Structure 1
Amino acid sequence: MRRFLEIVFCFGILSYMQMATAQITLPPIIGDGMVIQRGIEFPVWGWAKAGQKVQIKPNWQSGITATANHEGRWFVKIAAPPAGGPYELQIKGDNTVIAIRDILCGEVWLACGQSNMEMPLGNISSDNYPGIDNYRQEIAEANYPSIRFFTPAYKKKHMPQTEFDGRWVLCSPESAKYFSAVEYFFGRRLHKELKVPIGLINSSFGGSYIEEWMTKQTLQAYPDCSLPAERSDYPLYDVLIAPLIPYGIRGVILYQGESNATRAYQYNTLFSAMIHSWRKKWSQGDFPFYFVQIAPCGNNRYPPMAAAELRQAQLLTHLAVPNTGMVVTTDLVDDPCAASPDDLHPGNKQDVGKRLALWALAKTYGRDIAYSGPLYRSFKIEGNKIRLCFEHTDGGLIAAGNGLGGFSIAGADKQFADAKAEIDGNTVVVWSEKVQEPNSVRFGWDNVPQPSLFNAAGLPASPFCTNKQ
């Protein structure tokens, strides 16, 4: 009798699954109000009964027919329409007709990271986020129906997901307060400059480690790198990234690193591997990957110099991995000398989003604008001094109002001493009477660095160490 009931139960489950798969289903990201990436063959996919024919009929071109494979998945690519809209897309099967309306075509970007990317435009969670600068006015003015957001819902699972929740939301004063502030300001700048619809996907999670954003296969290649035990149940790649693939995107913006600050020596390797693996999974080539260097924060949050070492790892990632860009934030705290020792969430998210957009406008969209602060390139020893050369000087190097500071210099003993510095054209000359045979220089090597070196475009130099370690 028990065996009979087991057979009946299994047959019922199988019948239910067959009925479920007879209906066409779509991932939530393919739905009303979506923004599709212009200028590409845009992926459209879903599920149906194995072997079922599925007709995909856009109103901007002739239809395409797909066949669900043995697992019930079907997939096609459709040439994206001209930027603008609205467009419609009909998907039809044996027992289902799905009409997707109010589709726009423009630029689509994925944002991810931890709490500084997650931090919303509005003051909706005062225990965690005190609110960004001027948030009331920003929300009141956030009336951009051609900017649309999609936030996949988080579900804790231990394998890559195909099912997830979420919907596209139009940007309005009522909805914008829930959106990522950095992502909003990034998208708003692109929308104003490019004059096309903007789609923004936000897959961020507060307190996350870089390892959580990596595929299991990628992380297994680095056996010395593993998640803290309390985080092992949070496979964020599986639940917040994998379900989005292969949705067409232009690129990625990321704000992450604070949680890895005590393991900066691993970060450069892991971050680079993560970028490469995402690009491989998406099969869209080396798409743009722009990220934010971690902000100044006091020693109560980090061990001494930990944040400086993490910033160096981020700089090395940018210099090594093609088509990446890095935003420096050392000047975006009102008073770095008085920075709260525990405040990981600076309120100025406007300039963070703007600077990410500068990278995109210059490197992705071809605008002739300054987009990066000075980045260390090389050095030359000149007697008891070191001459530093920079990229992205853009009109020349400029010292902050209080003059150049934050430089230190060392010899073979690696004992760094505070140094004097002066600008000489597009170089900086550094020296100290305490070091007569120098071989290395540091700049901004502190958890709360002092922003003293800029280019003429007003963008700050990245902290760095010349020995690249």
Structure 2
Amino acid sequence: MKKQLIFVFLFCISTIVLHAEVKVANVFGSHMVLQRHQQNPIWGTANVGEKITVSIAGQLHKTVANRKGEWRIQLDAMKAGGPYKMIVEGENKIVFEDILIGEVWICTGQSNMQWSVENSNHAELEMLSANYPKIRLISIPLVGVSEPQTDIKEANWVACSSETIPKFSAAGYFFGRRLHQILDVPVGLINASWGASSLESWIPRDAIEKKYKHKEFLEDWDWRINQFTDQMLIDYTKKYEAWEKAGKPGQKKRPPRDIRIGQNRPANAYNGVIHPVIGYGIRGSIWCQGESNLGRGDQYSELFPIMINSWRERWKNGDFPFYWIQIASMKEPDLEPENSSWAELREGMSKTLSLPNTGEVISMDVGEGNDIHYRNKQEMGNRLARLALDDTYNFKIEGRSPRYKSMEIQGNKITIQFDNIDQGLYAFNSSIVKGFSIAGENQKFVWADAKIIGKNKVEVSSVGIKNPEAVRYAWSNKPVSNLIDRNGLPVACFRTDKWQIPSEGKVLAQKRYKYPNSKKD
């Protein structure tokens, strides 16, 4: 009797397996854009040993599902065009319609990338005019998990229209729209951004383990996860709701969040959002993130390259372009020069320009003093587009902001020389160059007088500093600075000194909760 039951069980299992349908990963679908001029992988699942064929635009590719029930083919490179139909066949048939070939970019980061068109400047006009049927959009579902996922939840590609654009990434859309208008090819935009996410959440755990020298960073996170309980979340939620009901008195409280599945735990966003789509044919990535890492600017300069390199290694698409929007600005302008966590974060991001095929656009001039989510996403889209057109598409246009190159001390003055000068330096909206500070050996900075003395040089001094040693520019949470290239690109924040800054040595992430009876708190 026991043997008969086992036989029946095995027969049922084999019947289920034999009737498993061919499936294609959810990132693929009707209305998608495939990257032109490169081989694009297509993958999915099927019954073990099942024969699969994939056809599109005269191509026919065959493969067999492996022992794990996985299959994968590579399409031959195609020129921009379409629409095409893709047919995937095994024991069943899947048909994807209206596929275009063009340029594909993935848009990633936290809330200033996730920030929607409907909440940006001139939202009504932008939505009414969003009639671009050859711009295609997909938003990846946001899932935070501790293990890499093989597929995303169901998501659909859609053509850009007044109905589909309102909740899509504004920075991503304005960037993609410019590319579409200038390149005159279809553009696909993959929105994979998650508000309030930390940099470390987008990095594979094994990459942090192998590449980041501070083991205590992950050890601390593992300790927090082990200590965290459902009851802690329930108790804190009650306190938070009571605080809200009372009118939010006193110190601001952070909203409740399950840190086990949230967007701050290392690797969570990578595992649930990025890993399932790695391999999809892209031209490059644009990134906007940093606010959740404020206070750890020095650490950012170590973790950010780890993230970019890990994505490139896993995508197996070479050193694809990776461009980012530098963190913007907020709060009140400084009365006197001070340390700045925002400036340190900007510096940490800029150091990553040492990686090949990377670029950074400046946003501190569009930041809003009382809102971390600035509305002028059109300017960010334009600056990202300039960068891509310059670096990726080889247009004769300067895409990079002027940057500090060198300094020369001459008596009581310091001359600063800049790189990436296009049309020449200019003090915007004033006859006075604003934003410079200067210090002597005591390392105490004071506001400086500055004047442009050439196409790419500025002379900096202060009557109170007879023997200057260092200069800083726009080194503030909300800098009052106005030095730009006449092409409209602002000069990047910088410092000439290598003096210690507050974020050096800060490795552990800020804790959201208090853990009772522990020295770790």
TM-score of the pair, normalised by structure 1: 0.91
Aligned to 1:254: 287
Are the structure 2 counterparts of residues 231 and 380 from structure 1 closer, same or farther at C-alpha, using a change threshold of 3 Å?
farther
Taking only aligned residues, the RMSD between alpha carbons, in angstroms, comes to 2.3
1 CA distance for matches of 2:277 and 2:480?
Answer: 40
Aligned to 2:29: 31
Q: For the Cα contact (< 8 Å) 2:134–2:160, is it kept in 1?
A: yes
Which residue type is aligned with residue 112 of structure 2?
N
Aligned: 1:44 with 2:42: yes
2 CA distance for matches of 1:16 and 1:453?
Answer: 71
Aligned: 1:84 with 2:112: no
Aligned to 1:316: 351
Per-residue deviation at 1:330?
2.0
92, 95, 98: which one aligns with 2:94: 98
Which residue type is aligned with residue 87 of structure 1?
Y
1:133-212 superposed matches below 5 A? 133-164=121-152, 165-212=154-201
1 CA distance for matches of 2:84 and 2:157?
Answer: 15
Q: Deviations over 1:128-178 (max 9, x none)?
A: xxx211101100000101001111112343211112121101100011102
Q: Deviations over 1:403-450 (max 9, x none)?
A: 211111122322112111111111111112222222221100110012
66, 70, 73: which one aligns with 1:69: 66
Q: Deviations over 1:338-395 (max 9, x none)?
A: x21xx11111010111111111111000000121221111112222221111112111
Are the structure 2 counterparts of residues 414 and 12 from structure 1 closer, same or farther at C-alpha, using a change threshold of 3 Å?
farther
2 CA distance for matches of 1:78 and 1:404?
Answer: 54
Q: How many residues align?
A: 448
TM-score of the pair, normalised by structure 2: 0.82
Tell me, what secondary structure is at the counterpart of 2:207?
Answer: helix
Are the structure 2 counterparts of residues 200 and 118 from structure 1 closer, same or farther at C-alpha, using a change threshold of 3 Å?
same
Tell me, what secondary structure is at the counterpart of 1:133?
Answer: coil
Deviates more, 1:283-292 or 1:417-426: 417-426
370, 377, 381: which one aligns with 2:405: 377
Q: Deviations over 1:289-330 (max 9, x none)?
A: 000011111169xx9611111011111112x11111111012
Tell me, what secondary structure is at the counterpart of 1:80?
Answer: coil
Per-residue deviation at 1:5?
12
Aligned: 1:111 with 2:107: yes
1 CA distance for matches of 2:7 and 2:297?
Answer: 56
Q: For the Cα contact (< 8 Å) 1:316–1:468, is it kept in 2?
A: no
Tell me, what secondary structure is at the counterpart of 1:45?
Answer: strand
Q: Deviations over 1:9-51 (max 9, x none)?
A: 985994576256x311111121111100000011111111122
Tell me, what secondary structure is at the counterpart of 2:488?
Answer: coil
Which residue type is aligned with residue 63 of structure 2?
A
Aligned: 1:325 with 2:325: no
1:180-329 superposed matches below 5 A? 180-221=169-210, 222=212, 223-226=215-218, 229=224, 231-234=259-262, 235-298=268-331, 305-318=340-353, 320-329=354-363
Aligned to 1:466: 496
Q: For the Cα contact (< 8 Å) 2:143–2:269, is it kept in 1?
A: no
Question: What percentage of aligned pairs have identical amino acids?
Answer: 40
Aligned to 1:409: 438
406, 426, 430: which one aligns with 1:398: 426
Instruction: Find runs of 4+ consecutive structure 1 residues off by over 3 angstroms.
Output: 3-17, 224-232
> Unaligned stretches of 5+ in structure 1?
123-130
2 CA distance for matches of 1:418 and 1:6?
Answer: 85
Q: For the Cα contact (< 8 Å) 1:57–1:64, is it kept in 2?
A: yes
2 CA distance for matches of 1:274 and 1:436?
Answer: 44
Aligned: 1:455 with 2:485: yes
Tell me, what secondary structure is at the counterpart of 1:409?
Answer: strand
Are the structure 2 counterparts of residues 276 and 417 from structure 1 closer, same or farther at C-alpha, using a change threshold of 3 Å?
same
Per-residue deviation at 1:400?
1.9
> Unaligned stretches of 5+ in structure 2?
225-257, 263-267, 500-521
Q: For the Cα contact (< 8 Å) 1:374–1:462, is it kept in 2?
A: yes
Q: For the Cα contact (< 8 Å) 2:138–2:156, is it kept in 1?
A: yes
